[in-house]
Chains A and B, each alone.
Chain A
Amino acid sequence: MKVSLFITCLSDAIYPRVGEAMVRLLARYGVKLDFPTVQTCCGQPAFNSGYWKEARATAATILDAFEDSDFVISPSGSCTGMIHHYPKLFEDDPVMLERARKLQSKSYEFTQFLVQVLGVKDVGAIFPHKVTYHPSCHGSRLLGVKEEPLELMRNVQGLELVPLPFAEDCCGFGGTFAVKMADISGAMVTEKVDHVLETEAEVLVGLDMACMMNIAGNLRFRNEPVKVMHLAELLYEGVKQA
C-alpha cells in the first residue's frame, strides 16, 4: 500500500510543523508516508479566481505526483476539496479527466483517513487544555468532515472542548477574497476572533492552515495569546505527553 502525503503549498512553505506532526503520528501506526517532491499547489487560488488554464498547470503537478499512490492524504480539507473539482477542471480532456477521477477517489483529508480508513478514533493522547474548534468550510461542507475531528478530540484525555459560537461561519479567508475584498474579509475574521475569545480557550484548533493563518493573524494583530494549532499537531503533541 502506497500512502502518499499531499503536503499543500501552504504547509510546505509556512507550516512544515504540521506535515511533520502528521508524518510522525501516522508512523506510530506503521504508515510509512511517501512524499513525491514534484507536487506543488492544487491550483485552488487560480481555479477560484476563474483562471482555469493556470489552475490546470499546477494541478498537473498533483496528478503527476500521485499517479501510482493507493491513498493520498493531506492536512487540508480545502486542498483535498480542490482535488474533487479536478474532474470539472479537466472535463474537456478525456485522458486527464480519467486521471482526475482516479485521484479524487483516493484522496483523503487527514482526519478522514485516520478515522475512516485506519479506523483510529483514539490516538491515546493527553492534552490537558481548554480547546475550541473551528470547522473549516470546505472540509466540513464539501467533504462532509464533521464528526471525525470531534470524535478524535473527545478521546483525548484532559482536553476540554468548548463550543465555538457561530463555529460554522466562514473565517473570511477565501483565498484571493482576503486580498480583493480586504475590508469584508477583515470584518469576518474580526468577528471570528471575537467568538474565539468569548470561549476563553487556550488553544484554537482546526484542519486547514489557510483558515488558521487567517485567524491566527488577527489574534496576533490584536496581541491575543490564544495558541493556534492544526489537529495533527495537537494529537502528536498529546501522544508525546502520554
Chain B
Amino acid sequence: MSTTSTGVPSTVKKRADLALNDEFLRKAVKFTTERLRNGKINAAEEHGNWEEWRERGRQIRLHTIAHLDYYLNLFADNARANGVHVHFASTSAEAVKLSLEIAQRKQAKSVVKSKSMVTEELHLNHELEGIGVEAIETDLGEYIIQLAGETPSHIIIPAIHKNRYQIADLLSKEAGETLEPDTSILAGFVRKKLREKFLEADIGMTGCNFAIAETGSMVLFENEGNARMVTTVPKTQITLMGMERIIPSWSDLEVMATLLPRSATGQKLTVYMSGITGPRREVDADGPDEMHIIIVDNGRSLQLGDSEFQELLNCIRCGACLNACPVYRHIGGHAYGGTYSGPIGAVLTPALQKNIAEWDDIANASSLCGACYEACPVKIPLHEMLIYLRRRKQEGGHGDAVESAGMKGFAAVLGDAKRFRGILRLGKLGQKLVVRNGEIRTKFGPLKGWNSYRVTPSLPKRSFREQWGTLEEELRHGLREMDPAMQNRMEAIARERKNGTGGGHGHHG
C-alpha cells in the first residue's frame, strides 16, 4: 500500500488521474502488459487443451478451499514432521510479530528476500528496518522498486510502470557511476551487488507459490534464481504464505505448473521451480539449518462460507487479469491504492478488509468487461464480485447520495412503461435547449464527463414504441410464409427447452 509515502491521493479517481497524466507510465504499462497477455494467449493456444486444464485447475482450487481446514492441518503436521517450525498468524500484526521475534532471536543484521506479496501486505520491510534489520529485495523488479522507495504496481512485474531509462537512473545512483540503459549492463550490476548481500545475510525470506499438503513441502516459481540463493545460503529461512496457498498433492502441482507460468508470462515452464521440504538434512550440501513457515490469515478466512467471495481464495497470483484489464492498461497498479492491483486487487483489497464504510470507490474502477474472468486460469468471476462489492457498500448505507437518488429516480421512471414514455416526451422537449445539428456538445452538469470525450446523440422524433403501430401495420400485409424447415427448427428448440434438454446458448460468465 502507498501509505508509507505521504501525499498519495485518497480516491481511486485522483490516483488514476496521476497515472493518466504520466505518459511514461502509460507507455511502459501498455508495452509490458501487451507482451505478457499475447504471450499468455499464444501459450494457451499452443497448449491445445487450455479450457479443460483451466477447469481442472478451478476444480482443484475449489476442492482445496472447501476443505481448507483439513489440508492446512495435514500440511502443518507434515511440515513439522520434516523439522519445520510452523506458525499461524491470524492478523497482519501477529505475522509481523512472529517474523521480528525470529529475527531478534537470531540477532539478524540483514534479511535477503525473494519476491513475496504477503510480506508487502504486512509492510514487513518497514517493520524490519524499525528494529534495525536491513531487508534487501533480490528479485530484480522488486529491488528496483525498493531503491525507488515505491511499492509494486503489478503482482509479478513490480516495476512494470518504469522504463529502462528510469531504471538506469536509479541504479546509477546506487552504483555511484553512470550505467548505460542496457538491460544486460543493468542486470549485471544488480547481480554483482546482490551476490555480496546473499553471502552476508542471516535470514532468507520467501513467499510461497504452492504448499503441498501431502508432504508438507513449499514450492517456489521464479525466473532469476534469486529465490534459490535466498533458500540455500542463509542459515535461517522464513517463509510467509497466505493460508490459501495450499494444494493437496504433487500431482495437483502438475496442473498448477501448467497454468501459472503460461498465464503469468506465457512461459511453458518457469525457469526455476523449487520444492523445499524442511531444513537442511545431514546429507544435504546446503540449505538453512532452521526453517520457519508463517501461515497468514489476515482477512482471508472472512471469505470462507461467503458464497459470493469464497472463490477469491482460488487465486494463484499469476497477474493475468492485470495484463488483460483495459483499465489497468491505462492507470497502472498504484492507482488501486492497495498491495494488490488490477481486477484481483479491486476485489481482494476490500474483501480482505471487510470494513465497507472505509472502502473508497476502487470497485467502481471497472467497466465490468469480463476480460479478467476470461484471462483467469482458475476462472474466478471477478467481474461479478465487483458488482457484489458495489451492492454491499450501497446496502450497508455507504453509497453515494447523488447516485442513490438517481437510482431511485431510474426505478421510478423505468419501473413503468407509461412513465418511461412520458419521460421520453419530456426529453424531446427539453433537449431543444441543447441540441445543435442533431448533437449535444454541452459540458454542463451530468454531461460534463461524457462530453469531455464525446458528443451525445439527440433523441429522434419518434421512439421505437411510437413507431411500432405503423411498422406493424405495414408489415402485416407483406409478411412471408415461414420456410417449413425453419419452422421445424424453431419448434424443436422450444420443445427441447420445455423438456429441459435444450438451450445450448448458456451463460459463460
Contacts and interface: CB of A to CB of B under 8 A. Distances in A.
Contact of A28 (B368, B451, B480, B503): B480
Given A29-B483, A52-B395, A170-B371, 11 more contacts: A29-B482, A32-B476, A38-B417, A48-B387, A51-B399, A81-B509, A178-B449, A189-B453, A213-B457, A217-B450, A218-B454
Contacts of B472: 35
Contacts of B371: 137, 141, 168-170
A30 B487 CA distance: 9
Q: Ordered nearest first, which 7 A-B pairs have the shortest CB separation? A: A182-B449, A174-B367, A217-B454, A30-B482, A50-B390, A170-B369, A186-B453
A93 B463 CA distance: 34
Majority secondary structure, A binding face: helix
Contacts of A58: 410-411, 414-415
Contact of B393 (A38, A50, A61, A186): A50
Contacts of A60: 415
Interface stretch (B69-77, B180-188, B309-317, B489-497): B489-497
Interface in B52-104: none
Interface string A9-40: 10111111101100110011111100101111
A188 B449 CA distance: 13
A172 B411 CA distance: 24
B367 A173 contact: yes
Contacts of A143: 505, 507-508
A91 to B, nearest CB: 10
Interface residues of B, number: 91
Nearest to B493: A117
Given A50-B392, A183-B17, A37 B446 contact: no
A183 B20 CA distance: 8
Nearest to A23: B471
A187 interface: yes
Contacts of B392: 50
A141 B508 contact: yes
B468 interface: yes
A107 to B, nearest CB: 9
Contacts of A17: 460
B455 A51 contact: no
10 contacts: A7-B464, A16-B463, A71-B490, A116-B504, A117-B490, A177-B367, A181-B365, A184-B330, A186-B449, A188-B367
Contacts of B491: 1
Contacts of B456: 217
A71 B504 CA distance: 14
A40 B414 contact: yes
B417 A39 contact: yes
B407 interface: yes
A108 interface: yes
A217 B471 CA distance: 28
B394 interface: yes
A184 B331 contact: yes
A99 interface: no
Contacts of B416: 40, 61
Interface in A139-195: 141-144, 168-170, 172-191
Interface residues of A, number: 91
B401 interface: no
B486 A30 contact: yes
B335 to A, nearest CB: 9
Central interface residue in B17, B393, B462, B482, by most chain A CB within 10 Å: B482
A181 B506 CA distance: 31
Contacts of A177: 364, 366-368
Interface string B376-411: 000000000001011111110001000110011011
A15 B467 CA distance: 12
Contact of A50 (B373, B399, B494, B506): B399
Contacts of A217: 450, 453-457
Interface string A41-52: 101011111111
A11 B462 CA distance: 11
Given A12-B464, A27-B479, A170-B369, A49 B420 contact: no
B352 interface: no
B113 to A, nearest CB: 33
B424 interface: yes
A108 to B, nearest CB: 6
A11 B507 CA distance: 23
A50 B329 CA distance: 25
A122 to B, nearest CB: 14
A70 interface: yes
Interface string B406-436: 0110110011110010001001000000000
A30 B479 contact: yes
A12 B391 contact: no
B465 interface: yes
A1 B225 CA distance: 66
A242 interface: no
Contacts of B12: 181
B327 interface: yes
A27 B467 CA distance: 16
Contacts of B374: 141
B16 interface: yes
Nearest to A64: B417
B370 interface: yes
A54 B410 contact: yes
B408 to A, nearest CB: 7
Interface in B197-223: none
Nearest to B500: A105
